[in-house]
Amino acid sequence: MKRAFFIITLITIISGLYSYSILEKETGNFIGNLDPHSTAMGSAVGAGGFRLLDSMVNPANLTSLENGFGFQGTGGFLIDSDNRSLPMYNSFDAYSGDAVYASNVNTFADFAGGIYYKRAISDFELAASLQYRPQVSFKANYFEQVRNNWNSNDNGYPLKIAQNSIESKGGINAFAYQTAFKYKNIGSLGLEVAQLTGDSEMESSVIWTPEAQDIMNDTLNDTINTLEREFSGFRFKVGMNFHLSPRFDLSLSIAPDMKLDVTGDKDGVDVETAVFVYTKFDSMGTALDSLTYAQYIFPMNARIGFSYKPRNIMRTVMNCDVEYIKWSDTNPLYEDAINCFIGVEHILKNSIPFRFGFNYTTSYGLHEDSGFVFVNEITTPTFTAGTGFTFLEKFTFDISLEYSNRQYETLDLFMDNYYWRDGEYEDLWNLHYDENGNIDSPIIQDRGWENPDTVNETFINLKSAISFTW
């Protein structure tokens, strides 16, 4: 048993790894749920949460925990595969398929944990908890090589002239205090107050290779752009659970929008004045309003959920949540969205639970082209499954697996003309000339929305947790 306990603990510790998309490198990736029990049920945990970190979604779930003291430690292993491709056309200008030109896979570490105490007093049940958890992650990496076409027709390897990279790190963490009470098993009310602090660092760079410098006689200058920010603020959340019958529970949780205090600089310019993106223009195309890197807002969100226990021979629980996120709080170009979460837990004859679920969420991506800003609505379907068991009487181990996939179109992260400079860097490329000395091969130029990149991202997320009560 000691060996089993050590293995489970090791799995939980080493699985505290997260990988996040480069799409949200400026805005960060919001973390909505950290508990593998509810994650396995599609994150449908508004009602019927039975683990400490379920209260991250609805603080009223604290009253569903066992009496006494307890703790939970959790982590996850997530692999994000980012494949970027270009449409290819044959000599007849007919579309022949997509060609992947960059593929990135990254992993990063994060952990969460908390303690709680619950006690029954007469007709009331009172509970309180302290939690430390990641709330937003800015961690993301992207790398690609730039090669010319020298020797490619002779099955040779084209010369690398530059390497592009984006490295983002940091995050916003929450130190949260929660309290909740239940009255006569009729209903419960919970409140969370979270202090949010953190920082982020992002570096975007184009580094020329020694081979390219030799060709251009060391006249090429590397480009390195940086963004450093620090965040602080408080956020509140209120949750309610209603026990309508022995088989049906209803929940509601609301978190108002909240603006963080942000300090830092963008390439040496204070973030208060460093423009992130222009959002409004007049009829002549003059910018009227903009967002700066100092504007960081958590959108208002509200979630309604229910938990239903049908009359099965073996215990079954069905959960369903609907979440409204007011994305327009963060950016006037965004539209508000509704996310859906569905999950089922079925207890088998040997008391091993089988959990599975599905959720469908919406996010947005910003893209700029020739001074105008485009917004992509990006939907992400996710399939989930998991299980868990109790050992040493007081310990519970849960594990879950998520699979997500999303696809969207975007502009190149590093525009092609940078490596051409309107012909200034002509010597870097193996160009063909006609009899009059004119270039008869395609001239390198930026691709617009007439020929965008297609990004296909796959997320595989393994979460595990250990809970203990006494």
CATH superfamily of 2-260+296-457+465-469: Outer membrane protein transport protein (OMPP1/FadL/TodX) (2.40.160.60)
Round to whole Å and give the CA distance between 199 and 229. Answer: 6
Mean pLDDT estimate for the chain: 85
Could you read off the pLDDT of 243-290 as tens digits, one per residue? 999 899 999 999 999 999 999 999 989 988 888 777 776 667 677 677
- DSSP 8-state assignment for residue 279: E
- pLDDT for 72 equals 94
Q: Quick check: 429 pLDDT over 50?
A: yes
Q: What is the mean pLDDT of residues 140-166?
A: 81
Q: Where are the domains of the chain?
A: 2-260+296-457+465-469
CA nearest neighbour of 141 among 100, 101, 102, 104: 104
How much is the pTM? Answer: 0.86
153 pLDDT above the threshold of 60: no
* Mean pLDDT score, 38-50: 89
Polymer length in residues for the chain: 470
308-347 pLDDT per residue, tens: 998 877 788 999 999 999 999 988 888 999 999 999 999 8
Confidence of residue 154 (pLDDT cuts 50, 70, 90): low
Contact (Cβ atoms closer than 8 angstroms) between residue 456 and residue 69: no
Mean pLDDT of 223-251: 94
Q: What is the pLDDT of residues 65-118, one digit of tens each?
A: 999 999 999 887 778 889 999 877 776 777 777 888 888 888 776 789 999 999
Specify burial of residue 93 (Cβ count, 10 A radius: 0-12, 13-18, 19+).
exposed
If pLDDT is split at 50, 70 and 90, which confidence band does 229 have? Answer: very high
Q: Indicate if the pLDDT at residue 36 is higher than 50.
A: yes
The one-character DSSP state at 439 is: B
